[in-house]
Amino acid sequence: MKRKTANVEINAGIDTIKEVLNDPAQFITNWPYVVRVNTKEGIEAEIMLPRFVFKFRDTYKFTFHEDYDSHIYEGIGKKSHLTAVVRLREWQKNVSAEVELSYKGRGEFLLGKTLELLAEGVAKALKDLSESMRPPAPTAPAAETVLDVDFADPMSVANFLAKAKMVHSGLHIVGQGKLLDVIMELRGNLQDEVLYVSGITQDGTKSFKLLLRRSQILAVEYRDSEGITVVKVDSESETRKALELVSKVEGAYMVNVWVPVGGV
């Protein structure tokens, strides 16, 4: 069995870090070498480990459990076993994490360097996800100006983003009709009333943009192979159209969340 470890300092509270660790589907989705994740029956992740000219691919059925100081992700594949153990250490205001990765199975004697990079990548994913969830300082933007974003005008969007702050970025598995559930879960960590959310698939063929005030959809843009559709919600009929567009978002999306900064 091969074992590799990696350590990382995380500029986030330990409760925030545990929140990331306690969402194994999202956490595993953001690991390097992960090809796809299926959550229909538990958590199944297809992972391809490259080394020299070889590519060791397996599909792992992951189980997650924790004890007093460890979060454990045990993956059982058809040809190998892959387990990640994350241990948190809190000292004064600093939090560090140790990621221990163990691998047993096909190619284990060749994969030393690859597993080292995987352990480092898992540690980096934990750091990035945790730090992106830190709540921003309360701000008081000019609300009406903030909400005047025209998705049909690239300059309007660019002007908004130039005066906004990204507070989250991560790969999410969106179930059919569940995009708003994903966003509301992210909103639970934020204090801002207005959110600008964008998402794009890994192959770039589909994307969306969404402007929200609390749970109210203000505008939405959806792009797929059939073209781009933009709806600005000013009436009940447009609300229905916006919800229909949002319901089309399904699958793995890289999701970014911005909040307006004071003075927008």
The per-residue pLDDT for range 143-175, each reduced to its tens digit, is 444 456 666 666 677 777 777 888 888 899 999
**From the centroid of its chain, how far is CA 22?**
13
Residues 107-118 have a mean pLDDT of 85
* Beta bridge partner(s), residue 50: 55
pLDDT tens string 184-196:
888 876 777 888 9
Residue 138: pLDDT over 50 = no
pTM of the full structure: 0.54
Computed over every residue of the chain, the mean pLDDT equals: 85
- pLDDT value of residue 188: 75
Residues 118-125 have a mean pLDDT of 94
**Contact status, residue 139 vs residue 26, Cβ threshold 8 Å:** no
% pLDDT > 90, the chain: 42
Residue 213: pLDDT over 90 = no
pLDDT band for position 6 (cuts 50, 70, 90): very high
pLDDT tens string 55-80:
888 999 999 999 878 999 999 999 99
- pLDDT value of residue 145: 42
Structure tokens at 63: 């189980």
pLDDT band for position 141 (cuts 50, 70, 90): very low
Which CATH number, 3.40.50.1110, 3.30.530.20, 2.40.128.640, 3.30.230.10, labels domain 2-132? 3.30.530.20
Buried (b) or exposed (e) across 122-142, using 16+ Cβ within 10 A? bbbbbbbbbebbeeeeeeebe
CA-wise closest residue to 96 among 12, 9, 16? 9
Task: Delimit the domains of the chain by residue range.
Answer: 2-132, 143-260
| Rounded Cα gap, residues 140 and 130, in angstroms | 25
Phi first, then psi: give them for residue 146, nearest 5 degrees. Answer: -60, -40
